Chains A and B, each alone.
Chain A
Amino acid sequence: MKILLVGFGVVGRAVVALLEEQRAALYRGHGLSPSIVGVIDSKGAAEDPRGLDPAALLEAKAKHGTVAAVAAHGVTGEKDTELIAESEAQLVIEATPTTVKAPGPSLERLKAAFRTGKHVVCVNKAPLAVAFPALQELSRHNRAEFRYSGTVGGGTPILALAQECVRGNEVVSVRAILNGTTNFILWRMDKQGEDFDAALKEAVRLGYAEADPSADIDGIDTATKVVILANGVLGRPCTIGDVRIQGIRGLPKARIDDARKRGQAVKLIARIAREGLTVAPEEVPSDSPLNVPANLNCLGLELKTGGEVALVGRGAGGPETATAILRDLIDIWHTIGSAR
């Protein structure tokens, strides 16, 4: 299968490494031999219809900061959307970083992929947050497959579990912790007695939080995931404008201490219920499955039949997200391979 990879940051590079590492297993287990025929990064691109050499890609990126430096296959000055439309690839992986304030470029790339009949694996949450129903319509119209399991929970198959749970059953409500950074901050404040700023500093030091942590601590990242869960799993058309969002920026330590005295813990909870979609700090009992430590994520589902189901796992990270991409890739490979 010919693949075009867009975005060559932490996730993109992890995907290339993972595909190499899993090459034999993918062929043995699924009859799948992926070939990267193109890579686009922020400064240029590299293309080879016969497949690019992973080592050369990684080297060019490390030495020159762009894959456009790959000898004989580098491309500069072309528009992303044109490279995507004209590529021989059957599948596009969109692995650029999420920028909710400017979803435009990513959305244009997905549109270019779909209108030229390419399947898409997307881990950028921005286009899904603002235009999920439109993307779903576009993929169906063009009979192209569309997967995005890496957008929620990273390597932890949160969407897949939720999807299984709605089959023949009904999800009454969802309560989840979908952002590891904020969970880490709240957990430090609770367990180490740090105030918000100190806990945030520690999260940055450990590489959990970005230099600009706004998207995490203001609840935006969690809200994008709520939109994806609601649309993709619960079949509830919505966009980020439909989510009521309250973050944890500057949350007073007293609130956490006060909750602890009552046997409760404060968590940034994503909630999907009949009344609406919300993201807000909420208290959960300390023995609740949602009271997960450190930077873990947790999906809690209340089912009509069978009560509560919970899944705990790590929500982010380059290798974890790359695993999710590979999972989607295999899924698409089997879907398009079966008789349609």
Chain B
Amino acid sequence: MAELLGQLAYLAMGVSVVGELTPRSKDAIAAFGEKLSAPLFRKALELEGVRARAWTGQEAGLVTNERWGEAEPLLELSLYQVAETLKAPLEAGEVPVVTGFIAATQHGVTTTIGRGGSDYTATLVGAALKAEEIWIWSDVDGLMSADPRIVPAARLLERISFGEAIEMGLFGAKSMHPRALEPAAERKIPVRMKNTFNPTGPGTLISEEGGAEEELARSVLLVKDTALLTITGAAMMGRPGTAARIFQLMADEGINIRMIILSVSEAGICLAVTGSQAARARATLERHLLRTGEAHSVEVEDQVAILAVIGSNMRGHPGVAARVFAAVARAGINVIAIAQGSSELSISFIVKGDSGPEAVRVLHDEFRGAHRT
């Protein structure tokens, strides 16, 4: 412990002397929280009479690429190495305590897996060990049918499928790593989400089978603080590569596109981006497309919200979209744009920001108790 703190002090001094904090140094420093807590947890287990041993992600065999701050694991290599490292101690009756969130490159440089990275580590280690179930303890009861701050009647989803959970994660239901469920889903290992502050609660069980009930929609989610950019221009019509060019511009600027709407007529392309990135997205598009005459205008509609209705039973069930939009229309809410993936796991659309919460409530009511017929 003292040795680790010494290293941390040394590292912090180095950064302060150079006056520069590179993403690589930041990862090295950010890793100390986990490096310090794993031995503490091991000690706590030992005091309870459980034989345990602490490992850092790197020691356990987790390898990532070199994207510091948001490193991606080399999945197959990590799975193999973790299984190899932890096999012997497990067989000897030791409980391995592995740091979440941190790993290392193939050259041994510390990396962090980014937001929700500990969940990802858990599913990876679980998959490597061919666990029967993976438990994730956090500070929420589990996945909900809606945000309880918006819909007081929101319910806890006790059973949900991997597809639904991944879709919910992507819509920001919980700060879960978007890929966190992948290792478990691929190997069909159920994941149970539990609340540390409510250990007796049922939590949410995410599995291949999902919910037993035939509920049509499982959850209604709202992504606030979104902006909609509409790019129009006659020169774009029917010209191959326009969309690719726009996406490339956004990628180069590091702007994450949340939703894309492109009508068949190709008169315009709509992009939904996070509100804080809208100004930058607009400036880039104007600089590259307006100046050259490739587009006529870039309009920004600030203060919009994305709504998503999620449920795997909607797949192949006619009339769901009609119900969604009829309900919203009855409430006098205007729908600005619509997108539905071919997986039919979710329907998402954009409304004015201030009518977002009302739309969530309306849809939650509409689909409460609605079953597949």
Q: Which residues of A does B touch, CB under 8 Å?
A: 111, 114-115, 130-131, 133-134, 136-138, 141-142, 237
Ordered by A's residue number, 9 sampled pairs between the chains whose C-beta atoms are within 8 Å are: A130-B80, A131-B76, A134-B77, A134-B80, A136-B76, A137-B74, A137-B76, A137-B77, A138-B74
Residues of chain A contacted by B77 (CB below 8 angstroms): 131, 134, 137-138
Instruction: Please report the C-alpha to C-alpha distance between residue A130 and residue B81 in the assembled complex, in whole angstroms.
Output: 11
CB-based contact A141/B80 at 8 Å: no
B75 interface hit (Cβ, 8 Å): yes
What 3 pairs across the A-B complex have the smallest Cβ distances?
A: A133-B76, A134-B77, A115-B106
Residues of chain A contacted by B107 (CB below 8 angstroms): 115
Residues of chain B contacted by A111 (CB below 8 angstroms): 106
Instruction: Report B16 CB to chain A, min CB distance, Å.
Output: 32
Q: Which of B218-260 contact A (CB under 8 A)?
A: none
CB-based contact A141/B79 at 8 Å: no
Residues of chain A contacted by B76 (CB below 8 angstroms): 131, 133-134, 136-137, 237
Contact bitstring B72-87, A, C-beta under 8 A = 1, else 0 = 0011110111000000
Instruction: Please report the C-alpha to C-alpha distance between residue A160 and residue B77 in the assembled complex, in whole angstroms.
Output: 26
CB-based contact A134/B65 at 8 Å: no
CB-based contact B106/A134 at 8 Å: no
Instruction: Please report the C-alpha to C-alpha distance between residue A51 and residue B77 in the assembled complex, in whole angstroms.
Output: 33
Instruction: Please report the C-alpha to C-alpha distance between residue A142 and residue B105 in the assembled complex, in whole angstroms.
Output: 12
Instruction: Report B311 CB to chain A, min CB distance, Å.
Output: 31
Q: Which of B44-69 contact A (CB under 8 A)?
A: 65
Residues of chain B contacted by A115 (CB below 8 angstroms): 106-107
Residues of chain A contacted by B75 (CB below 8 angstroms): 137
Task: Please name the residue on chain A nearest to B75 by beta carbon.
Answer: A137
Instruction: Report B83 CB to chain A, min CB distance, Å.
Output: 10
Instruction: Please report the C-alpha to C-alpha distance between residue A322 and residue B29 in the assembled complex, in whole angstroms.
Output: 49
Residues of chain B contacted by A141 (CB below 8 angstroms): 65, 74, 106
Residues of chain A contacted by B81 (CB below 8 angstroms): 134
Task: Please name the residue on chain A nearest to B105 by beta carbon.
Answer: A115
Beyond A131-B77, A137-B76, 13 additional contacts (C-beta under 8 Å) are A115-B107, A131-B80, A133-B76, A134-B76, A134-B77, A134-B79, A137-B74, A137-B77, A138-B77, A141-B65, A141-B74, A142-B106, A237-B76
Interface of B is mostly: helix
Interface of A is mostly: helix
Instruction: Please report the C-alpha to C-alpha distance between residue A111 and residue B81 in the assembled complex, in whole angstroms.
Output: 12
Which of A115, A141, A142, A237 is packed against the most chain B CB atoms within 10 Å?
A141
Q: Which of B98-148 contact A (CB under 8 A)?
A: 106-107
Q: Which residues of B does A touch, CB under 8 Å?
A: 65, 74-77, 79-81, 106-107
Which of B65, B76, B81 is packed against the most chain A CB atoms within 10 Å?
B76
Residues of chain A contacted by B74 (CB below 8 angstroms): 134, 137-138, 141
Instruction: Please report the C-alpha to C-alpha distance between residue A131 and residue B65 in the assembled complex, in whole angstroms.
Output: 19
Task: Please name the residue on chain B nearest to A140 by beta carbon.
Answer: B74
Task: Please name the residue on chain A nearest to B77 by beta carbon.
Answer: A134
Instruction: Please report the C-alpha to C-alpha distance between residue A96 and residue B107 in the assembled complex, in whole angstroms.
Output: 24
Instruction: Please report the C-alpha to C-alpha distance between residue A126 and residue B213 in the assembled complex, in whole angstroms.
Output: 48
Instruction: Please report the C-alpha to C-alpha distance between residue A237 and residue B75 in the assembled complex, in whole angstroms.
Output: 13
Instruction: Please report the C-alpha to C-alpha distance between residue A138 and residue B77 in the assembled complex, in whole angstroms.
Output: 7
Instruction: Please report the C-alpha to C-alpha distance between residue A133 and residue B80 in the assembled complex, in whole angstroms.
Output: 9
Residues of chain A contacted by B106 (CB below 8 angstroms): 111, 114-115, 138, 141-142
Task: Please name the residue on chain A nearest to B79 by beta carbon.
Answer: A134
Instruction: Please report the C-alpha to C-alpha distance between residue A114 and residue B243 in the assembled complex, in whole angstroms.
Output: 36
Instruction: Please report the C-alpha to C-alpha distance between residue A134 and residue B79 in the assembled complex, in whole angstroms.
Output: 8
Instruction: Please report the C-alpha to C-alpha distance between residue A4 and residue B76 in the assembled complex, in whole angstroms.
Output: 26
Instruction: Report B73 CB to chain A, min CB distance, Å.
Output: 10
Instruction: Please report the C-alpha to C-alpha distance between residue A293 and residue B257 in the assembled complex, in whole angstroms.
Output: 63
Instruction: Please report the C-alpha to C-alpha distance between residue A134 and residue B83 in the assembled complex, in whole angstroms.
Output: 12
Instruction: Please report the C-alpha to C-alpha distance between residue A319 and residue B81 in the assembled complex, in whole angstroms.
Output: 34
Residues of chain B contacted by A130 (CB below 8 angstroms): 80
Instruction: Report B37 CB to chain A, min CB distance, Å.
Output: 29
Instruction: Report A86 CB to chain B, min CB distance, Å.
Output: 13
Residues of chain A contacted by B80 (CB below 8 angstroms): 130-131, 133-134
Which of A114, A131, A142, A237 is packed against the most chain B CB atoms within 10 Å?
A131
Residues of chain B contacted by A133 (CB below 8 angstroms): 76, 80
Task: Please name the residue on chain A nearest to B186 by beta carbon.
Answer: A237
Instruction: Report B86 CB to chain A, min CB distance, Å.
Output: 15
Instruction: Report A235 CB to chain B, min CB distance, Å.
Output: 13
Instruction: Report B111 CB to chain A, min CB distance, Å.
Output: 14
Instruction: Report B91 CB to chain A, min CB distance, Å.
Output: 15
Instruction: Please report the C-alpha to C-alpha distance between residue A137 and residue B76 in the assembled complex, in whole angstroms.
Output: 7
Residues of chain A contacted by B79 (CB below 8 angstroms): 134
Instruction: Please report the C-alpha to C-alpha distance between residue A115 and residue B75 in the assembled complex, in whole angstroms.
Output: 16
Which of B65, B81, B106 is packed against the most chain A CB atoms within 10 Å?
B106
Instruction: Please report the C-alpha to C-alpha distance between residue A57 and residue B106 in the assembled complex, in whole angstroms.
Output: 33
Instruction: Report B205 CB to chain A, min CB distance, Å.
Output: 27
Residues of chain B contacted by A142 (CB below 8 angstroms): 106
Residues of chain B contacted by A136 (CB below 8 angstroms): 76
Instruction: Report B88 CB to chain A, min CB distance, Å.
Output: 13
Instruction: Please report the C-alpha to C-alpha distance between residue A87 and residue B122 in the assembled complex, in whole angstroms.
Output: 37
Task: Please name the residue on chain B nearest to A115 by beta carbon.
Answer: B106
Instruction: Report A116 CB to chain B, min CB distance, Å.
Output: 9
Instruction: Please report the C-alpha to C-alpha distance between residue A142 and residue B107 in the assembled complex, in whole angstroms.
Output: 12
Which of A114, A115, A137, A142 is packed against the most chain B CB atoms within 10 Å?
A137
Instruction: Please report the C-alpha to C-alpha distance between residue A138 and residue B81 in the assembled complex, in whole angstroms.
Output: 13
Instruction: Please report the C-alpha to C-alpha distance between residue A115 and residue B79 in the assembled complex, in whole angstroms.
Output: 18
Instruction: Report B49 CB to chain A, min CB distance, Å.
Output: 33
Instruction: Please report the C-alpha to C-alpha distance between residue A133 and residue B75 in the assembled complex, in whole angstroms.
Output: 9
Task: Please name the residue on chain B nearest to A103 by beta carbon.
Answer: B84
Task: Please name the residue on chain A nearest to B78 by beta carbon.
Answer: A134
Instruction: Please report the C-alpha to C-alpha distance between residue A111 and residue B74 in the assembled complex, in whole angstroms.
Output: 13
Instruction: Please report the C-alpha to C-alpha distance between residue A111 and residue B107 in the assembled complex, in whole angstroms.
Output: 10
Instruction: Please report the C-alpha to C-alpha distance between residue A86 and residue B75 in the assembled complex, in whole angstroms.
Output: 26
Instruction: Please report the C-alpha to C-alpha distance between residue A134 and residue B106 in the assembled complex, in whole angstroms.
Output: 12
Instruction: Report B342 CB to chain A, min CB distance, Å.
Output: 24
Residues of chain B contacted by A138 (CB below 8 angstroms): 74, 77, 106
Residues of chain A contacted by B65 (CB below 8 angstroms): 141
